[in-house]
Every structure is written in C-alpha cells, then in structure tokens.
Structure 1
Amino acid sequence: MTSLDTVTDRPGAAPAAPLLAADAVSRVFDTAAGPVVALAEATLEVHPGELVVVKGRSGSGKTTLLNVLSGLDRPTAGSVVVAGVDVATADEAALVRLRQRGVGFVFQSFGLIPVLSAAENVEVPLRLLGVDPAERDARVADLLDRVGLAAHARQRPTELSGGQQQRVGIARALVADPPLLFADEPTGQLDSVTGRQIMDLLVDLVHGSGVAAVVTTHDPALMARADRVLELHDGRLGHPPKRHGRHAAEG
C-alpha cells in the first residue's frame, strides 16, 4: 500500500492521485416487488487529506453509497477503485485485505464489543492482522492518546459516555493506518456539544494526517467544516443547490 507520506499534496508538487475513484456507480437490489435502484451512476473522487461530506434524507442511499465505496458491497454497474483495488472486479481475498488495511469504518452506533476495554476494542484490527504484541500496544496507546482517551484505556464501553465511545470507534478505525476513512452519521447519537467535539476530532485527524474521509451526516456544523459537500437524492449524487441568507448553512 502507498504510504501517506508519498501521496499527501505538497506545495509545488503535482496533485496527489485520488485514494478513491468511483465512475458511474450503480447499485440495484432485486426485490419481490421488482428492482430497486438504491444508487444511480454516482461519480466521485476523493484525495488525500480531503474531508467529503455526503448529505441526504433517510432512505436516499447514503449507507448503500458507503458500502459500495468501501468494498463492503459490490456495485451492479460502474467501477470503484479504492487504494488501488477495483472493488467491482477484485476477488474476495483482495476485498478482505482492503477492509483490513485500506479502509477504516466509524459507525453511528459505535459498534464496540461490550466485554472488551477501550484498548482491547482498538486492538481488534491489529490482532486480526497478526501484528506483534509490543507493536499492538504501542499503536493502541498512540491512538487512544490522539483521541484524548489515554486515561480511559481500561474502561469498558458501558463505563464511557457516548462521545467517548465514538472516540474509541475512531481510534479503532485508524489503528491499522488506513489511507481512507468512512463514517456513517458519526455524530447522529450524540448531543450537539459532544457531536461538535467529534467533528473537530475528525477534521483534525483528516487534515493533520493526510487520511481521506467520506462522511454521511445531517449535521450542518460538520458540513461547514468539510472540504466538499455532496447531496444524495433518490440514489443520485450531486452538489447541493446554493442557498442565500440566514438559511444558507441549514441542511
């Protein structure tokens, strides 16, 4: 995998190649009532150090879009290349490697294992990769420190606040050093103050480390911090219409 140091944009250098390139991607589901088009000819590029927000109403296809872009699902048509892997044509072994090393996931519901401590939850991806125990410990400690939870490493999810649990989820998503991060409504279950803290953390991590991120959200504050905002409507991806006046920032 290409290291982040070699792909991050530098002044005077040629623009970095996209970490994610989707071209005319569609996803159609067969149902008893007939085919349902969840995603229709979506085209998107995401570059290192870029935070892209996708907005859209419930049922507009946001989760389907993330699943296809991240390799959790395959497109019905079109191409998706993520960190050099063509999701549409790659074999299952290549997709497993992509999910383990090429992408990280942050979920609205946190997705933590209740019986494990914060450190053990963050460690899970490294155990799956067979990383040496000493290196595992060092990387887990570093990530927990970066998300402000060094003092909570031994606490289980039930002993943490919602915001702290989401920070654990972010640390877990990044511990294997993926170049691309996906987050599905990461502030959706948090109050406005905690949500803003998580938003600040995501922005700092993306812009500070060169990770590329695609985030779905309804949060106008997060949209305001994004490098780009795209809107998904009935499975079609595009730029939201510009608004003027006091409602311009409302989503």
Structure 2
Amino acid sequence: MSTLAAEHVSRTFTTDAGDVHAVADVSLEVRPGELLVVTGPSGAGKTTLLNLLGGLDRPTSGRVLLGDADLSTLGDDALAAIRREQLGYVFQSFGLIPVLSAAENVEVPLRLLRMQPAERESRVAEALEAVGLGAHGAQRPYELSGGQQRRVGIARALAARPRLLLADEPTGQLDSGTAATVMDLIGELVHARGVAAVVTTHDPALARRADRMLELHDGAARADRVSAPAPTGT
C-alpha cells in the first residue's frame, strides 16, 4: 500500500496576466522505503507540487492522499496535525534557527509534539548520529559547514519518525561532491527507516540516485521511471 498518492492533481494560479497552470494533471504514488525524485528545469512546478503533497497548498482539482487521509478535504487544524505528526520537511534554505545549537534545532519539532524531555533527548541524539553529526550537537549553525547544516536539517525532518519525507532542492546550495553525499544519505535513511520520500532537484545526476524519477515540464509529468542506482560517493 502506498504511503502517498496524488490523483490527477492540478494547481492553477490566477494572475492579472491570466491563469498560470503551475501543476497540470499529475498523478504519482510513493511506497514505504521508496525515494521518488521529481526533476525538471526551474519553473517546472516542482516546489508547487511538493507544497500540494505536503498539505501546504490545496489543489485546484484532484486529490492528495496520505494513507487514508484526503489532504484536499481536511480542515486547517487537521492538516496542521498531520504535518506535525506524519511529515518531515527539508527546505531549500537550510532553515536553521541561528541562536539554537544543532541539537536544539533538531529538537524543535519534538517540542511541538509535546514529547517528554527524556524521549526528546534520545530522539535528538539518534537523529544526529544517523546523519553523522553525533559529536556536533552543541555547535551553532554558523560553526558548521554547508553540508553539515544540511545534515542538521535532515536530522530535524526525521527526528519525529515521519511516514513521509519531503525535501525541496536539498542540495541546491552545495558543491557537487557534498550534494552527492547528501543525496546518498537521504536515500540510505529512507531505505533503512522505511520512510516514503519525495525530493525535488534540477540536477539529473542527483536524480539518478532515486528509486524512481518523475520529470516535470511546464507543470506536467513527462515520465515516471525506475532509475538506475548511481554509485555512492561520486
């Protein structure tokens, strides 16, 4: 059974210059432990699609299902609860709070869940260890490299053990070597933890690290295919 399914999803924005069809009749599904990469040029609709999949925006038509829940019909409170409890996000910008340590940044979503302090501490340590930053919990973002900051963002997204991970251009601010390492890390964590994941990127080399790849052009899906795994560390 799929964790996430989008059925004929479209999103149209009305502007003074006319309607903009940011996403046009896209269907997809992602199963537990599967990494789906959405690729395409800038302006193809990747971020808009990700916002629809995560319940941050509502489709003009079609529907998005997370398990049995139709995100398209839920009220704001129910949507907020699902995003808090079942979804993890990695944003284009690192999105870390500068005055907090790496561990405190990872802890933020756990505090929103009102998790007990001992459990929070355990989850934070586990998440940082999983991304190779177990010894860096006390450091502030400005004391970390770009790749390390991205790893903190991934740890934060996974700390609450979500069913679905969404990552919008998670390698966009990184050099090619670090970007490949981060994509490999996401793939390893998704497969090891059985999390369904959707990652957007404009880089075809990174997209080839996915289990499946969906190409978007002008908001429409051009292809959904199995990707040949790329060698790790390249």
Instruction: Give the TM-score, by structure 1 length.
Output: 0.87
| Cα pair 2:47 2:168 within 8 Å, conserved | yes
Aligned residues: 226
Q: Find the partner of 2:34 among 34, 47, 50.
A: 50
**Unpaired segments of 5 or more residues in structure 1?**
1-16, 243-251
Aligned ranges for residues 44-83 of structure 1 at < 5 Å? 44-83=28-67
Aligned ranges for residues 11-30 of structure 1 at < 5 Å? 17-30=1-14
Q: Describe the superposition over 1:47-79 as per-residue Cα deviations: whole angstroms up to 9, x where unpaired.
A: 011111111110110000000011111111001
Structure 1 counterpart of 2:98: 114
Measured in 2, the distance between the counterparts of 1:109 and 1:77 equals: 29
Q: Describe the superposition over 1:58-106 as per-residue Cα deviations: whole angstroms up to 9, x where unpaired.
A: 0110000000011111111001101332111011111001110111111
What is the root-mean-square deviation of aligned Cα atoms in Å? 1.4
Measured in 1, the distance between the counterparts of 2:94 and 2:69 equals: 27
Structure 1 counterpart of 2:188: 204
Deviation at 1:221, TM superposition (A): 3.1
Aligned ranges for residues 1-251 of structure 1 at < 5 Å? 17-239=1-223
Measured in 2, the distance between the counterparts of 1:161 and 1:91 equals: 39
Q: Using a 3 Å threshold, how does the CA distance of structure 1 residues 241 and 211 change in structure 2: closer, same or farther?
A: closer
Which consecutive aligned stretches of 4+ in structure 1 deviate over 3 angstroms post-superposition?
Answer: none
Measured in 2, the distance between the counterparts of 1:71 and 1:240 equals: 22
| Cα pair 1:71 1:99 within 8 Å, conserved | yes
| Cα pair 1:83 1:102 within 8 Å, conserved | no
Q: Which has the larger radius of gyration?
A: 1
AA aligned to 2:110 is: L
Measured in 2, the distance between the counterparts of 1:112 and 1:82 equals: 27
Deviation at 1:219, TM superposition (A): 2.6
Overall identity of the aligned pairs, in %: 65
Measured in 1, the distance between the counterparts of 2:153 and 2:68 equals: 25
AA aligned to 1:74 is: R
AA aligned to 1:236 is: A
Deviation at 1:34, TM superposition (A): 2.1
Measured in 1, the distance between the counterparts of 2:205 and 2:187 equals: 11
Measured in 2, the distance between the counterparts of 1:108 and 1:204 equals: 20
| Cα pair 2:42 2:202 within 8 Å, conserved | no
| Cα pair 1:83 1:179 within 8 Å, conserved | no
Instruction: Give the TM-score, by structure 2 length.
Output: 0.93
Measured in 2, the distance between the counterparts of 1:99 and 1:195 equals: 26
Deviation at 1:109, TM superposition (A): 1.1
Measured in 2, the distance between the counterparts of 1:35 and 1:218 equals: 25
